[in-house]
Structure 1
Amino acid sequence: MLFSIYSIGQHTELLKSKGIELINNGNYYKALPYLKEAIKIDSSIADLHFYYALSLMKVHDYNQSIKEFKKVISLDPKGLKHPNASYHLAEILDLKGNYKDAMFYWKKTKSNYGSTPESFIYKKSVREINSNLFAIRHKNKFDKNTKIAHLNDSVNGSDADFAGFENNKEFFYSSFKNKGKQALIFKKDNSTYSPIDTIINDFNHHNANGTFTKDGKHFFFSRCDDYNHCFIMYSKRNGNKWTEPAKVGREINKTNFNATHPSVGELSGKKVLFFSANYSFGKGKMDIWYAPIFDDITFGNAVNLGKKINSIDDEITPFFHEKSQNLYFSSKWHNGFGGYDVFYSHWNGTNFENPVNLEKPINSSWNDVYFWMSENSNYGYLTSNRDGANFDSIPHCCSDIWKFKSKQPLASEIKISSKEIFKKRTGITLPLALYFHNDQPSPKSLDTVVSQTYPETYHQYVNLKSTYIKEYTKSLKNNEKTIAENEINDFFDHYVTGGLDRLNLFKKQLKPLLREYETIEITIKGFASPLAKSDYNTNLSKRRIHSLIKYFEKTDNQYFKEYIESGKLIIHSAPFGEVKANSNASDDLKNKRKSIYSPEAALERRIEIQEVIFK
């Protein structure tokens, strides 16, 4: 009898060991029969129920998994052996929308891990209790203007279909297509769907999550090997063909880390690539990052989107909607309905604001990811394993693509002026004004070009400061004279010298922008005090603008000249002459104190860098 009990115990241990070995290798399906057989032999062992429940959860058999996790908790009520059983049970109950029961087990998990408040599971429990309260309050809140529908079976098969998006009205998506060995990227051709260029779908890797640059010249996508190591690739369009894909730089693809989910966007005029990565120096697990895109698909250093977006949990599948300046992404951390929910965060020109849950019907209690939306915000796609998704034998095993349509735009258009964009990029406020002495440069001339550069005219101008003080304070006495002298000093220090200082800063900031963008356009407007006829003042404004163009051609060993001649730096002239002169400025030739030497008149003799546009 003792031998028989020993033999049974030994056999149970062998079944358990084999099951755990398979679990550790990721073979959850194969682990199930070993653990199930062991439970038949001895159903009183909490370990067996725990590993069986875990395997059931991993293969998406959630109903049976719930029963097994509850059995673990009944055998180990204080959570001494498996304190995380209540954690996994709460996760599954969230997915099924059973928020009240989920909250009970989140509270139990919090208690189980109370001695380690810095642990991930403790912090996750606290967060999910709040998230359950959110879900309960918003459970019946539903946007009636938005309808969501499952795409037909020509797109959605019994395996995972995901990452649907459009480019130039063509539909693309990724799929394992009916038990294929690799994920491939598909495109709709007429009424059929077929894999895109085989140079991208190489059949030796999983290829998925595609995105185009705005001009359609580059295609970014994720490529993963059989060991689940993912990196971001790109291919260039060459006529009707695509070049052999290459990995993007080490700024994004870092050794021993995964980078995936590329999405092209533009922040304050700067082209960027958003992506997800699990760098060890991030905020948590998978974080959302962006890297500036330079010419020829080179990149700046990756920038983490910060703790408003990223958490100690997973944030994935970013999509930037340029018209609304909203970043859409999925997260397991922020208040939601279970699994991954879709959120948006508005880019205000400086940083990303607190994320907002898109709520129902965009979100469900299941995993909702890969949000994409049309330019006009009235339709789009998302990926979800919610009720209604296709499956072979177990519901919710696999994600499908869903299309949503809305009677009202889901996002508002945000227009950011070129001046705001330039200020965000450089810190310089436009217009940038530069000032001139009366009828300078080249006085009494109808020429429109000059040989002098602006700084040369500046030095001549500041040498006249004492003359301005003398002429403007003439006939004034005591306090009035002191005030007038201070006005001239302030004009020369703040406006004239300050203008040159800002020009030097502008020049410094312009250099990296020229390396980053294909074309930069600068608009310079001219103004003149109303002492001469309008046509003369127009030519005078042209001469003043030309002195600045001359400066850009000569300064810093002709650094900018190559960009000007190649058309990468385009300078537009807009001379307005007297037409735009301030009516407060005097045109009395006999009263030079007011018409030449007064601050009111001096302020009119200027040119302005009014606009900088990046292309």
Structure 2
Amino acid sequence: MEAFERSTKFFNEKNYEQANRWTDETLKYDSTFAEAHFRKAQLYEIYTQPDLALQSYRKVVTLRPDAPQSAAAYQKLIEYHLRAGEYAQAKNDLTRYIPLLRPNSVAQKRAQRQLQTCAFGEKAIENPLVISPEELSDTVNQFILQYFPALTADGETLLFTALRPENDEDLYITHFKDGRWTAPVSISDKINTAENEGTGTLSADGRTLVFTACNRRDGYGSCDLYISRKNGKDWEAPKNLGINVNTPFWESQPTLSPDGRTLYFISDRKGGIGGRDVWYTSLQKNGEWSAAKNVGEPVNTLDDEASPYLHANGHTLFFASEGHQGFGGYDLFFSDSTATGWQKPENLGYPINTSDNQVALVITSDSQYGYYSLDTKRVGNQRVSRLYRFRLPTELQQKFNAANYLKGLVTDSRSGKSVKANLELIDLKTGKVVQRFSTDTDNGQYLTTLPNGSEWGLYVNAAGYFYKSLSFDYTQKNKAEGLQLDIKLEPMNLNTFGVLSNIYFETGKADLQDKSRTELNKLIEELKLQSTLRIEIAGHTDDVGDPKQNQILSQKRAQSVADYLITAGISRERIRAIGFGEAKPMAPNTSEENRQLNRRIEWRIW
């Protein structure tokens, strides 16, 4: 047909006005001409008229439902209905589309997967989670676009990326004070520049920042990751994370572990599983970041992953993926890291996930709330994105461990002045160090996370002071909370004393439990470092039972600790053991909590 030939010629020349004219002429002559309806649909898409395009594609398959030439129209219809969450209609079109495809072809495998998406979507919508998103105040949502939120462990500092009117992406922070979020401010003039900075992440204490910047002179690729650290109120000048992390490819969307020593991010570098994968790197003892490694399966897929977020518990990774079973497009998933590796990712469910793309979510330490960005409306052709939060449904909260946070000051017990200290959080059951961090050099502040489900030892070290140990048994804890705890360190002076908080014995016996090894080895390390130090190990009990037997038990327990130290190579002349029984309580023996405090092992310099 001459009119359609002219339409094709002009379409190929991208003269869409004339192509449209001759397509209309063709349909005036023959309204059943399927190829002309397909052309009309293509033109509607070019003119950004998706509803009219859908009608024309539908005419194509109505006129020739079983013709191989209709496959392209079916494909367009299926994609449209999947994006709209219209799974029943998409499934109906797929049942007609799949027989038109070559068996075992890429197109047929893709269609079979779309069929699985329909089944998953229909089932999930029938069993929705109950969520009620609430928009953050206009004080925070004051930009056209704000997205990629990140939180400190105490939930009091919110970092996000904002698009300014001059089309400049910058990082902003806001603080939660007196029950509301303050007006956001630029994170620092040292961080934000005339170029774009975005997709940032903070350590639990908010003092380490990693963010994305593109096309910089010191960059290795199109977009690189940069790091900055904060002392007091000031951020240092950011530094490129270096060739072990950045490549000539694209690196972005970072997330830090609570202590800021492990970094997960997205990259499309070679050597991955799909296009864009989750990678990770760790800070080494020499201060350099290790060569990045692919997280691997089952997190990464042949398709793209995006926006990883490591929860404050340190082992639950939230991320977006096109490759795992979902509602179509990007869905949000989570996976737990265990001793045997990452577990199979689980879809967060409807309506957190929908047929639209969901690409960024952060969960508060206590697992009560989620923060994310949502496209809400358009101003002209400009997309508008706002920050929201919602309370996590109980059934989701139960699927991963919440984390408590602990914060305060480290000071000298005598002068009250702040102390620069290094802290370690150790899982007492495994002896594994899970966090290493330090106080703020300007003010001695610290903040860390204590996940539920384990028994933790927190160790505080500073030059010129005897180390401090603290104990937190969260094995049976379900809910999370924030704790304020100021830590006083004892100078190494004569008669200075303190408690060894992580020494455990079998009930009524002097046999040391295995989980005491962490504390004992720390004590050995301290005594080897301070080679002239002499200490007294003192045993104490509560007032339950016979006082004489309590004194004998306390002496035996003190001697068990002393023997462990001597066996490890500490000179017998530097150690002495004494048992005080119930004679020197720390608190009145009026409650089980107080009696537990009184059952202790102390050290004293002599």
Q: Where is the helix percentage greater, Structure 1 or Structure 2?
A: 1
The answer to whether the Cα contact below 8 Å between 2:559 and 2:578 also exists between their aligned partners in 1 is: no
Superimposed CA distance per residue, residues 45-78 of structure 1 (whole angstroms, 9 cap, x where no aligned partner): 578456546656xx7x643453454466678867
Match of 2:148 among 150, 163, 173: 163
Compute the displacement of 1:328 (Å): 0.8
Match of 1:193 among 172, 181, 184: 184
RMSD: 4.7
The answer to whether the Cα contact below 8 Å between 2:279 and 2:293 also exists between their aligned partners in 1 is: yes
Counterparts of 2:173 and 2:161 in 1: how far apart (Å)?
9
Compute the displacement of 1:293 (Å): 2.5
Counterparts of 1:55 and 1:141 in 2: how far apart (Å)?
38
Compute the displacement of 1:263 (Å): 0.3
Superimposed CA distance per residue, residues 419-469 of structure 1 (whole angstroms, 9 cap, x where no aligned partner): 5555699xxxxxxxxxxxxxxxxxxxxxxxxxxxxxxxxxxxxxxxxxxxx
Compute the displacement of 1:279 (Å): 2.4
- The verdict on how the C-alpha distance between 1:11 and 1:49 changes in structure 2, with shifts beyond 3 A counting, is closer
Equivalence for 1:298:
288
Counterparts of 1:344 and 1:409 in 2: how far apart (Å)?
14
Counterparts of 2:114 and 2:160 in 1: how far apart (Å)?
32
Could you say which structure has the larger radius of gyration?
A: 1
Counterparts of 2:108 and 2:141 in 1: how far apart (Å)?
38
Superimposed CA distance per residue, residues 561-593 of structure 1 (whole angstroms, 9 cap, x where no aligned partner): xxxxxxxxxxxx99899x9xxxxxxxxxxxxxx
- The verdict on how the C-alpha distance between 1:242 and 1:71 changes in structure 2, with shifts beyond 3 A counting, is farther
Equivalence for 1:208:
198
Counterparts of 1:225 and 1:81 in 2: how far apart (Å)?
45
Equivalence for 1:234:
227
Equivalence for 1:149:
134
Superimposed CA distance per residue, residues 403-424 of structure 1 (whole angstroms, 9 cap, x where no aligned partner): 1124748434279972555569
Compute the displacement of 1:98 (Å): 0.2
Whether 2:78 is the aligned partner of 1:90: answer yes
Equivalence for 2:348:
358
Counterparts of 2:429 and 2:40 in 1: how far apart (Å)?
60
Counterparts of 2:560 and 2:431 in 1: how far apart (Å)?
28
Equivalence for 1:133:
119
Compute the displacement of 1:169 (Å): 0.8
Equivalence for 2:9:
13
Counterparts of 2:67 and 2:239 in 1: how far apart (Å)?
49
Equivalence for 2:568:
548
Equivalence for 1:448:
none
- The verdict on how the C-alpha distance between 1:538 and 1:12 changes in structure 2, with shifts beyond 3 A counting, is closer
List runs of 5+ in structure 2 lacking aligned partners: 28-34, 176-180, 404-424, 435-520, 526-536, 538-551, 582-606
Identical pairs, percent: 20
Superimposed CA distance per residue, residues 1-31 of structure 1 (whole angstroms, 9 cap, x where no aligned partner): x9xx69x966863554347xxxxxxxxxxxx
Equivalence for 2:257:
265
Equivalence for 1:326:
316
Equivalence for 1:316:
306
Task: Give the letter aligned to residue 263 of structure 1.
Answer: T
- The verdict on how the C-alpha distance between 1:298 and 1:417 changes in structure 2, with shifts beyond 3 A counting, is closer
The answer to whether the Cα contact below 8 Å between 2:9 and 2:19 also exists between their aligned partners in 1 is: no
Superimposed CA distance per residue, residues 200-257 of structure 1 (whole angstroms, 9 cap, x where no aligned partner): 222223x21111123433211122359x9332222232543323323222233221x2
Counterparts of 1:79 and 1:200 in 2: how far apart (Å)?
58
Corresponding residue SS for 1:390: strand
Counterparts of 2:61 and 2:341 in 1: how far apart (Å)?
45
Corresponding residue SS for 2:190: coil
Counterparts of 2:429 and 2:22 in 1: how far apart (Å)?
67
Corresponding residue SS for 2:228: strand
Equivalence for 1:418:
427
Counterparts of 2:204 and 2:99 in 1: how far apart (Å)?
51
Corresponding residue SS for 2:133: strand
Task: Give the letter aligned to residue 9 of structure 2.
Answer: E
Compute the displacement of 1:195 (Å): 3.5
Equivalence for 2:239:
246
Compute the displacement of 1:372 (Å): 0.3
The answer to whether the Cα contact below 8 Å between 2:427 and 2:433 also exists between their aligned partners in 1 is: no
Equivalence for 1:104:
92
| Bigger Cα displacement from structure 2, 416-425 vs 196-205 | 416-425
List runs of 5+ in structure 1 lacking aligned partners: 20-31, 426-505, 511-524, 526-531, 552-572, 580-615
Counterparts of 1:42 and 1:291 in 2: how far apart (Å)?
60
The answer to whether the Cα contact below 8 Å between 1:316 and 1:329 also exists between their aligned partners in 2 is: yes
Task: Give the letter aligned to residue 17 of structure 1.
Answer: E
Compute the displacement of 1:348 (Å): 2.2
Compute the displacement of 1:191 (Å): 4.2
The answer to whether the Cα contact below 8 Å between 2:213 and 2:225 also exists between their aligned partners in 1 is: yes
Counterparts of 2:251 and 2:187 in 1: how far apart (Å)?
22
Compute the displacement of 1:103 (Å): 2.3
The answer to whether the Cα contact below 8 Å between 2:266 and 2:308 also exists between their aligned partners in 1 is: yes
- The verdict on how the C-alpha distance between 1:542 and 1:289 changes in structure 2, with shifts beyond 3 A counting, is same
Compute the displacement of 1:382 (Å): 1.7
The answer to whether the Cα contact below 8 Å between 2:140 and 2:174 also exists between their aligned partners in 1 is: no
The answer to whether the Cα contact below 8 Å between 1:158 and 1:392 also exists between their aligned partners in 2 is: no
Whether 2:391 is the aligned partner of 1:405: answer yes
Equivalence for 1:391:
378
- The verdict on how the C-alpha distance between 1:100 and 1:339 changes in structure 2, with shifts beyond 3 A counting, is same
- The verdict on how the C-alpha distance between 1:33 and 1:337 changes in structure 2, with shifts beyond 3 A counting, is farther
Counterparts of 2:145 and 2:20 in 1: how far apart (Å)?
27
Corresponding residue SS for 2:362: strand
Match of 2:327 among 307, 318, 337: 337
Corresponding residue SS for 2:51: helix
Compute the displacement of 1:133 (Å): 0.3
Corresponding residue SS for 1:347: strand
Task: Give the letter aligned to residue 337 of structure 1.
Answer: F
The answer to whether the Cα contact below 8 Å between 1:166 and 1:172 also exists between their aligned partners in 2 is: yes
Equivalence for 1:173:
160
Superimposed CA distance per residue, residues 467-521 of structure 1 (whole angstroms, 9 cap, x where no aligned partner): xxxxxxxxxxxxxxxxxxxxxxxxxxxxxxxxxxxxxxx9xxx9xxxxxxxxxxx
Compute the displacement of 1:34 (Å): 8.2
Task: Give the letter aligned to residue 115 of structure 2.
Answer: I
- Paired residues, what number? 431
- The verdict on how the C-alpha distance between 1:192 and 1:45 changes in structure 2, with shifts beyond 3 A counting, is same
Task: Give the letter aligned to residue 242 of structure 2.
Answer: G
The answer to whether the Cα contact below 8 Å between 2:253 and 2:308 also exists between their aligned partners in 1 is: yes
Corresponding residue SS for 1:130: helix
The answer to whether the Cα contact below 8 Å between 2:306 and 2:319 also exists between their aligned partners in 1 is: yes
